[in-house]
């Protein structure tokens, strides 16, 4: 076992039961505390999974914040919240880290319900400053002296909301914006703002000189402070001529930095200066992502988010099998060799969406726009209007941010943009902020949109190829889950099974002699349907329809119409959906069948979907059980 992963017996960290305890630690012991935090992070995160590199980089910064501010009164907001693990350790939750990202355990993001120290939930990027402005403005209206501290990764500046919020920052707010610059969001940051930060980084000598002069002037009796005010105007003019102004000062905000964000003393000094300044302030810190853990420092992108540790047979199983994301990336790269106008767009997720092979093969046709999903979609619409064939690779949970752009910029103009929607369905480890359960419902509202969900990686590849072969005629969305194939599902719908590809669906029965109960579903949740069928006392009386073409579904309705008009039609239909009930596929199909068929022809229709919930998983319960769409729930409907 390497030094980095050796379990430790900490001397200081376990004694911290509340953030106020951090203030009482002697200065000479703080390096030891930071070392213990890093060792604990590596031990726990490599075991439980989670975001490692980003948290290793903010250890000193977070310790300094808790030494200067009080998180029960001041408001500390992290953007994105995956860099809040150290904050959780320092606010009484260190002994809960074995439950990190597990059902009923610690969330991987700040969570208001979890702790009063978590001021605001931030599972998506670029939201923190807008929220922070709300906190700070409310305190100003209430006459409070509380501070709002926003810890903002530089990658979040690629999102437009940050700049919208900066445009509304007022200098009289007790707001401190800390830029944690590590030149990374997940992939390396791109864009003009990253270049602006690079220019600001070249000016540390100016900051040191400025600080020294201010201290000297302040200690001169009688004339010191007036002289400092007089010099301030001259200083600004000289600074403007020598260095130029910067983005934040042009917004009317005080700017401190850049400074070494991994130097605890330096960070604490700047925080106290900002606090004493009693006005809105920007502190610019340069940190090292993965600090203190050599593998993460060498490859921060690979250590951005780790899966839970696997051992034995689990670790060896299917290691050579491609994930859905990898299959998408490889297939798209192959298709790009046949289509010179095919291009890929991602919002800071080259690794997550499997686009690294495409980026290497066709760097001029890969566009990483940063954490700017709305821009990604409208940018794709512009490319499409000029005759290119853009493919937008995006997580389901982030696609929500671009709903207006899909409607107004793509669909209204009938532009055939392709959306490849990763992480579809419930994502237990990251929790509600990352569940992909809303996209089917809102995309079905979009005129002209086609929606597919292939049941395995082979079908994903075949579908991508088929869509390219047919040409580009309308917007299309292909959604798929994280990870690899469900082997049960793949075996159940193997090539020798009956299927109806013409209707965009598969079935495990003869449509001419349907069983008495049909389960209609799509996505990996179909595996739960198969398990329920196998556990049922009369499995031959149950048939499963896998719906690959989710929308439009006229062909599927006609197919079901024919089955239900037979002499011995099914008596029960069970719709099963790993998505929200209201407005989802199950509800739409159920209503459509009721409109098509006379009341006397309608079977008993049941629906299992996520009902009015963000689906917060409870302890010792699988995520499908929490949503009541698991095999046991299906079996109950079969038996009653």
What is the set of active-site residues?
289, 373, 401
DSSP, res 390: E
Other Cβ atoms within 10 Å of 36 Cβ, number: 21
* Torsion sign across C-alpha atoms 452, 457, 459, 465: positive
DSSP, res 391: E
The CA distance from 228 to 213, in Å, is 9
Q: Give the CA distances from residue 34 to residues 58, 198, 424, 433, in Å, rounded to whole numbers and listed in that order.
A: 10, 27, 38, 29
Sheet holding 281-286, edge to edge: 75-79, 148-153, 175-181, 281-286, 254-260
Quote the Cα angle for 445-449-451, to 5°: 95
Query: Which residue reads 């929220």 in tokens?
Result: 131
What CA dihedral angle connects 625, 626, 628 and 633, to 10 degrees? 20
Q: Are the beta carbons of 75 and 147 closer than 8 angstroms?
A: yes
Q: Give the CA distances from residue 295 to residues 1, 2, 256, 282, 578, in Å, rounded to whole numbers and listed in that order.
A: 14, 11, 32, 31, 37
The CA distance from 225 to 229, in Å, is 6
Query: Which residue reads 């530089």 in tokens?
Result: 154
Closest C-alpha among 262, 38, 75 to residue 150? 75
The CA distance from 603 to 533, in Å, is 19
The CA distance from 508 to 172, in Å, is 67
Strands 572-580 and 517-521: parallel
Q: Which two tokens stand for residue 33?
A: 């505390």
Instruction: Count how many residues are written for the chain.
Output: 640
* Torsion sign across C-alpha atoms 575, 579, 582, 588: negative
Q: Which two tokens stand for residue 450?
A: 């086609």
Element (H, E) at 519: strand 517-521
DSSP, res 308: P
């Amino acid at each position: 076992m390497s030094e980095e992963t050796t379990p430790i017996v900490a001397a200081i960290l376990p004694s911290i039961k509340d953030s106020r305890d951090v203030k009482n630690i002697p200065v000479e012991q703080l390096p030891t505390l930071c070392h213990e935090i890093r060792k604990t992070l590596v031990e726990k995160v490599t075991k439980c999974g989670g975001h490692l590199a980003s948290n290793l980089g903010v250890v000193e910064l977070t310790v300094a914040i808790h030494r200067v501010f009080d998180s029960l009164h001041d408001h500390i907001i992290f953007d994105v919240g995956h860099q809040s693990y150290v904050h959780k350790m320092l606010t009484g939750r260190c002994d809960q880290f074995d439950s990190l990202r597990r059902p009923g355990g610690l969330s991987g993001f700040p969570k208001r319900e979890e702790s009063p120290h978590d001021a605001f939930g931030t599972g998506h990027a670029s939201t923190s400053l807008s929220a922070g402005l709300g906190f700070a403005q409310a305190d100003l209206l209430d006459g409070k002296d509380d501070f709002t501290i926003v810890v903002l990764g530089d990658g979040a500046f690629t999102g437009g909301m940050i700049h919208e919020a900066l445009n509304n920052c007022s200098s009289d707010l007790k707001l401190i914006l800390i830029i944690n610059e590590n030149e990374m969001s997940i992939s390396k940051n791109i864009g003009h703002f990253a270049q602006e930060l690079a220019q600001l980084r070249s000016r540390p000598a100016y900051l040191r000189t400025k600080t020294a002069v201010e201290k000297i002037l302040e200690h001169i009796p009688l004339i010191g402070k007036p002289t400092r005010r007089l010099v301030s105007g001259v200083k600004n003019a000289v600074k403007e001529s020598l260095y130029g102004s910067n983005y934040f000062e042009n917004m009317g905000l005080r700017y401190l930095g850049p400074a070494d964000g991994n130097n605890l003393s330096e960070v604490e000094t700047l925080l106290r200066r900002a606090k004493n300044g009693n006005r809105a302030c920007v502190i610019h810190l340069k940190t090292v992502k993965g600090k203190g853990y050599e593998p993460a420092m060498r490859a921060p992108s690979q250590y951005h988010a780790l899966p839970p540790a696997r051992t034995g047979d689990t670790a060896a199983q299917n290691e050579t099998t491609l994930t859905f994301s990898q299959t998408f990336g490889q297939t798209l790269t192959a298709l790009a060799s046949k289509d010179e106008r095919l291009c890929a767009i991602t919002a800071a997720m080259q690794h997550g969406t499997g686009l690294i092979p495409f980026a290497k093969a066709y760097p001029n046709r890969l566009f990483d726009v940063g954490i700017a999903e709305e821009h990604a979609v409208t940018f794709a619409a512009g490319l499409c209007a000029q005759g290119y064939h853009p493919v937008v690779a995006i997580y389901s949970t982030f696609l929500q941010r671009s709903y207006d752009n899909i409607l107004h910029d793509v669909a209204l103009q009938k532009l055939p943009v392709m959306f490849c929607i990763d992480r579809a369905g419930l994502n237990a480890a990251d929790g509600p902020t990352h569940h992909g359960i809303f996209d089917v419902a809102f995309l079905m509202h979009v005129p002209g949109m086609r929606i597919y969900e292939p049941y395995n990686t082979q079908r994903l590849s075949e579908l991508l190829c088929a869509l390219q072969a047919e040409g580009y005629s309308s917007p299309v969305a292909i959604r798929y889950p994280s990870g690899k194939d469900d082997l049960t599902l793949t075996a159940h719908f193997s090539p020798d099974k009956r299927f109806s590809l013409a209707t965009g669906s598969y079935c495990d029965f003869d449509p001419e002699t349907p069983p008495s109960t049909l389960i209609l579903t799509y996505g990996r949740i179909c595996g739960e349907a198969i398990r329920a069928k196998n556990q049922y006392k009369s499995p031959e009386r149950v048939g499963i329809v896998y719906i690959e073409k989710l929308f439009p579904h006229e062909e599927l309705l006609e197919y079901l119409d024919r089955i239900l008009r037979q002499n011995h039609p099914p008596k029960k239909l069970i719709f099963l959906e790993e998505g929200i009930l209201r407005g989802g596929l199950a509800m739409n199909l159920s209503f459509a069948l009721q409109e098509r068929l006379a009341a006397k022809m309608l079977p008993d229709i049941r629906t299992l979907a996520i009902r009015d919930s963000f689906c917060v998983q409870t302890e010792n319960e699988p995520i499908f059980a929490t949503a009541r769409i698991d095999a046991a729930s299906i079996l109950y409907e079969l038996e009653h």
